């Protein structure tokens, strides 16, 4: 088998076999195929695409390039959830303890943020002492003991994907749905869960800007997961405005704590409960969707979910005193952003809101950048809100950088006019 033949085959629009894709991934991971030839293959794929079968073979080959986590020592059905990334998306922080409080095994490996999208691991690291790295045996023991562990992805999970993604990033071949789907699913399949719900974001602040793109990606990822023997569901959720009100690592932990105490913003609660209900059914804890949702709302409101959150943070070495005084997670320096005109908030460009938080230091422009855990912003107004000139649109939590740029981005992101709009939050469910 020769790489030149495979480049030509894909260039001409032909379908690759599983054996050919395995050869391609194994050889590239081992350094036997140089970057310039893999770049040619990626560009051929960008134009000619892949069918569902090829994308599945690619996901499986990348999964098998490194460690595949064996969770068989954890009895019962293990569940996981993945978000395609958005602004203010702290669903995992709420969902995990919520499900575990109802007896579901939540074994989660999460990533760091890059660009305008935040990462669960960065958020958890804003809690002093929280250990994001556990040995696999300790990870399994913790899930068996308290029903939940949330850790960083191992450096040995899907190394082919890491190498391939870095190349896609510099060859303008990121934006092709079969490559996106196989990249995401290679890591999910390597993480060992039995049932997975995918939260596919769509809108300004998401990688998928249109519903049509989001549906294609969701359907392909569900197909890949099913072909690999997993229980799969995807939901499309709106990201035309940030989820919740707070954006930034410590701020999002603060809002997650409020939500786990039954005082969270309605959009965050509704998305979390929607995902959680599917996973309660998958885990055989409930048989009726509406009853599952009812139990989840109850667990948020009666303190059950919050107690499981405390158990999680304590088990992974976090300072639980911060949970009772979450204001310690926030910068003491604040700057208000005032409305410059009166009217309804008709649109919020979530991407620019995410960029504003990033300019303050809450996110990374490059993988090696450090983040400031205590900075970010609290968005007081949502689409449909009525504001007067001089009302506070947002409060910035700042240190010593990016303040004026962040203010400008926020004012530019919010369209104020005469029409009151409402956007659907849960767009579609794909099984």
How confident is the model over 379-392, as pLDDT tens digits?
999 999 999 999 99
**What one-character-per-residue DSSP string does 100-154 give?**
HTTT-EEEEEE---BTTB--HHHHHHTSTT------HHHHHHHHHHHSEEEEEPP
CB 260: neighbour CB atoms within 10 A?
A: 26
Q: What is the pLDDT of residues 320-370, one digit of tens each?
A: 999 999 999 999 999 999 999 999 999 999 999 999 999 999 987 666 677
CA distances from 339 to 199, 343, 393 (A): 32, 10, 6
Question: Which helix or strand (DSSP H or E) is residue 81 part of?
Answer: strand 78-83
φ, ψ at 319 (rounded to 5°)? -80, 105
Taken in order of first residue, the domains within the chain and their CATH numbers are 3-48 (1.20.970.10), 78-324 (3.40.1030.10), 329-417 (3.90.1170.30)
Entry pTM: 0.93
Tell me how far apart the alpha carbons of residues 120 and 123 are, in angstroms, rounded to a whole number: 5
Give the DSSP letter of residue 176: -
Alpha-carbon distance of 300 to 233, in angstroms, equals: 23
pLDDT in tens, 134-148: 999 999 999 999 999
- The 3-state DSSP class for residue 85 equals coil
Predicted confidence at residue 344, as pLDDT, reads 98
174 pLDDT exceeds 90? no
3-state secondary structure of 381: coil
Q: What percent of the chain has pLDDT over 90?
A: 87
Beta bridge pairs of residue 412: none
pLDDT digits (tens, 9 = 90+) for 30-46: 999 999 999 999 999 99
Is 90 exceeded by the pLDDT of residue 166?
A: no
Task: Enumerate the β-bridge partners of residue 430.
Answer: 234
Predicted local distance difference test score (pLDDT) of residue 207: 82
Q: Note the pLDDT of residue 117.
A: 60
Strands 334-338 and 392-397: antiparallel
Kindly report, residue by residue over 113-122, the tens digit of the pLDDT.
Answer: 655 566 899 9
Integer angstrom CA distances of residue 203 from 103, 140, 238, 245, 424: 34, 37, 6, 17, 11
Mean pLDDT of the chain: 94
| Cα–Cα distance for residue pair 108/110, rounded to 1 Å | 6
Contact 234, 222 (CB under 8 A): yes
Q: What residues act catalytically?
A: 82, 161, 168, 183, 187
């Amino acid at each position: 088998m020769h790489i030149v033949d495979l480049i030509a085959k894909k260039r001409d629009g032909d379908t690759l076999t599983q054996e050919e894709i395995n050869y391609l991934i194994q050889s590239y991971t081992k350094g036997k195929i140089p970057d310039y030839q893999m770049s040619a293959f990626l560009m051929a794929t960008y134009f000619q695409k892949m069918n569902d079968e090829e994308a599945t073979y690619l996901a499986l080959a990348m999964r098998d390039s490194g460690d595949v986590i064996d969770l068989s020592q954890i009895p019962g059905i293990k569940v996981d959830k993945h978000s395609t990334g958005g602004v203010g998306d702290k669903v995992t922080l709420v969902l995990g303890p919520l499900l575990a409080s109802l007896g579901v095994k939540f074994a989660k490996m999460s990533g760091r943020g890059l660009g305008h999208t935040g990462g669960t691991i960065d958020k958890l690291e804003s809690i002093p002492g929280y250990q994001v790295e556990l040995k696999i045996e300790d990870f399994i023991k913790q899930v068996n003991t308290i029903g939940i562990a949330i850790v960083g992805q191992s450096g040995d999970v899907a190394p082919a994907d890491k190498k391939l993604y870095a190349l896609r990033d510099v060859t303008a071949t990121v934006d092709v749905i079969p490559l996106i789907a196989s990249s995401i699913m290679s890591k999910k399949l390597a993480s060992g869960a039995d049932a997975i719900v995918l939260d596919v974001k769509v809108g300004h602040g998401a990688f998928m800007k249109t519903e049509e793109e989001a549906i294609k990606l969701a359907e392909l990822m569900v197909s890949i997961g099913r072909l690999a023997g997993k229980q799969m569901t995807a939901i499309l959720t709106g990201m035309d405005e940030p989820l919740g009100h707070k954006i930034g690592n410590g701020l999002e932990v603060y809002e997650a704590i409020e939500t786990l105490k039954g005082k969270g913003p309605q959009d965050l609660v509704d998305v979390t409960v929607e995902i959680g209900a599917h996973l309660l059914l998958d885990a055989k804890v409930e048989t009726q969707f509406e009853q599952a949702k009812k139990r989840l709302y109850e667990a948020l409101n009666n303190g059950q979910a919050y107690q499981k959150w405390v158990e999680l943070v304590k088990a992974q070495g976090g300072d639980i005193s911060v949970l009772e005084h979450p204001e310690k997670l926030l910068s003491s320096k604040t700057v208000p952003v005032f409305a410059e005109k009166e009217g309804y908030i008709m649109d919020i460009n979530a991407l620019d809101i995410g960029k504003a938080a990033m300019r303050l230091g809450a996110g990374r422009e490059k993988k090696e950048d450090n983040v400031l855990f205590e900075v970010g912003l609290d968005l007081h107004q949502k689409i449909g809100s009525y504001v007067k000139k001089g009302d506070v649109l947002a409060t910035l939590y700042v240190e010593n950088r990016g303040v004026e740029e962040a203010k400008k981005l926020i004012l530019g992101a919010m369209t104020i006019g005469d029409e009151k709009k409402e956007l659907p939050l849960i767009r579609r469910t794909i099984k």
